[in-house]
Structure 1
Amino acid sequence: MRDAVIVEAVRTPLGKRNGGLKGIHPADLSAHVLNAVISRTGIDPAVVDDVIWGCVSQVGEQTFDIARTAALSAGWPDTVPGTTVDRQCGSSQQAVHFAAAGVIAGHYDMVVAGGVESMSRIPMMSAMVDGLSPLGAEYQKRYGTAFPNQGLAAEAIAKQWGLDRAAVDAYSLRSHERAAEARAQGRFEPEIAAVTSLDGTVVAADEGIRIGGTLEILGKLKPAFDEAGVVTAGNSSQITDGAAALLITSSDTAKTLGLVPIARVHTAVVTGADPTLMLSAPIPATRKALERSGLALSDIGVFEVNEAFASVALAWHAEFDVPAEQLNPNGGAIALGHPLGGSGARIMTTMINHMRCGNIRYGLQTMCEGGGQANATILELL
């Protein structure tokens, strides 16, 4: 039976809004990691059967199937196709799932999966057109006319799981502290391909990590969505630019090409939940992944739960009593940033790197997604 293995994973540094990556077209940012993943393995890009690329705001510079334009921008042969995926924040994690499924089915031998979002150049919600709602009449009959607001959903989760301001701020501070420690110790360096901007400036490190933050500073920030709420800019993910790519093949093809697999895609699932509460789906997705895998929670050595908001990760942790040091051990999107369509691949790249460094056999990744969805992936270190 064919399997799907990851032989390389690489990402850009994550640029803060209007930061060091602002001047780079998202197709060129994508091309950068496509070429990085190829150069690290030494394969001919002509052997790539497809590029499957996540992107949420597919408008303007990110439209016209950015997967294909990225491959061509990378200088790859015209024969390499590409397709772009939108499962909201989980787009590039879903790209990995599609790539793995295609390899296992025998439709592909070699795929690059990943994603991009340049939120400085293409602001969030850019695809929305004034006066036109993506919610049709039947949806509105079922769920109401209001467009789902993720910030209010994060507030609802905080209330449902009894999370106060002190808890979400403390979690957020820890995210920055862990990310700062990982950066200081060079733990991110193996996974990052530095980017040279148009003016010659080299961006080699994540820009959103804050040093020297305190609970007092976080406590002074006003709630962003509900005056009486707990969700602030400080305990939410950052608006970010970035891209990441993973090279996926089968064990047999890897052996033929002299490639050394890093991890196997052990289990890949997706599920849905209440689209108005929206951000709770990582909980049932995790349960589904564990059930499908035949593994116990205790078998997993690292958990990556996307920090869209601190309340999301804390609600997940309340449901799964895992050691705190195993949850987002290098910080998450609160500190590093959340480049929407690129985040799933970025998180997976970081998790793989952490698994290699710590010789951790199993890692589980999950993330909330617009519309009340969540992907969950279990990787097995080889």
Structure 2
Amino acid sequence: MRDAVIVDAVRTPIGKRNGSLAGIHAADLSALVLDALVRRTGVDPATIDDVMWGCVTQIGDQSSNIGRFAVLAAGWPDHVPGVTINRACGSSQQAVDSAAHAVMAGQCDLVVAGGVETMTRVPLGSHRTTGQPYGPKVLTRYEGAELNQGIGAELIAEHWGLSRQQLDAYAAASHAKAAAAIDDGVFDDHVVSVDVDGDKFTVDEGLRRGTSVETLSGLRTPFKQDGVIHAGNSSQISDGAAALLVTTPERARELGLTPIARYHSGAVSGADPVTMLTGPIPATAKVLGRAGLSIDDVGAFEVNEAFAPVPLAWLAETGADPERLNPLGGAIAVGHPLGASGAILMTRLLARMRSRNLRYGLQTMCEGGGTANATVIELLS
């Protein structure tokens, strides 16, 4: 089987809800990163075999196979296809996995993987306006449970004995780490500036410098009276897009490109859809077993910060070094544009691995419905 390698990765800055990216259609926002990717690599778009594009809420602006219309918005040739993938919050991580699988299997040589979500324009929960999500048999199977992520986060915090103080301390640290990464220019190489009303939008705008346990203490807990989950220790509703170019080492060499990392191993796993957000724990065990690695072999972990209990429960179960977990901050600090987040986390993981010369990195995402992706990459350059 052939190797699959990542040769470049780009993303927009993450826009907060009703923020700098609110006026940009999802197809046009996607086109920005597609254009940037081919401009940076010099790859002719006509030679790209497929564009695999994550998006979660596929209605309104994001309907009608947004992956295909992203390609057309970028002005790429009509013959370049695009497909939209939905594995809930892990949609663009699944896009990267699927791109790697297609390359490794020899069915494609050059694939763009990534995703988009404009949560300002297509609000969270829009899918509930018509029909019956989940279906009566599922709801009966789980005894009418709400299948609500916020409630799932409360259940996780209770199960692992995580206090509000611990969760808020984690959230404050996420902001501090993200601020340090921005100030150190860690993201500068892969963040694409966006023209907004004549100004250049370049920095994730959800960051709240100076966030502390004290500043978070007054926020109400909407999911449970006297609960521990609130807006400050949850991921932010956001807009954004990201894209990666996946190919073989041989094709990269033909194109004069230097691979950054090799796709080493991937796995997907399911978990209880009521607690919903524990999937990264079995997915991590599964991918490490497939990779033949131990938790200590991995130099950096990106565990999506959907809610603070998710990475903290993952940490407790895996025994990973906490210093290696989300070292550049995460979605609590800068936002979680659902369909783009998997690809955004991959850009962040690559940046950390390159700056510290770390051989292995692992990324995992909790996902609605109780699934989770986990991916291991190996640094090459």
TM > 0.5: yes
| Aligned partner letter, 1:141 | T
| TM-score w.r.t. length of structure 1 | 0.98
Q: Secondary structure at the match of 1:13?
A: coil
| Aligned partner letter, 2:104 | I
Instruction: Give the match for residue 368 of structure 1.
Output: 366
Deviation, 1:60, is 0.5
Mapping 1:1-382, distance limit 5 Å: 1-130=1-130, 132-197=131-196, 199-382=197-380
Which stretch shows the higher mean deviation, 207-216 or 157-166? Answer: 207-216
Instruction: Check the 8 A contact 2:305/2:311 in 1, yes or no.
Output: yes
Q: Secondary structure at the match of 2:127?
A: coil
Q: Secondary structure at the match of 1:338?
A: coil
Deviation, 1:325, is 1.6
Q: In 2, distance between residues paired with 1:302 and 1:310?
A: 18
Deviation, 1:354, is 1.1
Q: Would you say how many aligned residue pairs link Structure 1 and Structure 2?
A: 380
Q: Secondary structure at the match of 2:223?
A: coil
Instruction: Check the 8 A contact 1:135/1:145 in 2, yes or no.
Output: no
| Aligned partner letter, 1:307 | E
Q: Deviations over 1:130-183 (max 9, x none)?
A: 4x2122232122112344110000000000000001000000000000000111
Identity of aligned residues (%): 58
Which stretch shows the higher mean deviation, 97-106 or 318-327? Answer: 318-327
Q: Secondary structure at the match of 1:153?
A: helix
Q: Deviations over 1:63-103 (max 9, x none)?
A: 11111100110011111000000000000000011100000
Q: In 2, distance between residues paired with 1:10 and 1:136?
A: 38
Q: Secondary structure at the match of 1:287?
A: helix
Q: Secondary structure at the match of 1:380?
A: strand
Instruction: Check the 8 A contact 2:145/2:274 in 1, yes or no.
Output: no
The runs of 5 or more residues in structure 2 that have no matched partner are none
Instruction: Check the 8 A contact 2:168/2:212 in 1, yes or no.
Output: no
* Aligned-residue RMSD, C-alpha: 0.9
Q: Secondary structure at the match of 1:360?
A: coil
Q: In 2, distance between residues paired with 1:107 and 1:188?
A: 33
| TM-score w.r.t. length of structure 2 | 0.98
Q: In 2, distance between residues paired with 1:113 and 1:144?
A: 38
Deviation, 1:255, is 1.3
Q: Secondary structure at the match of 1:140?
A: helix
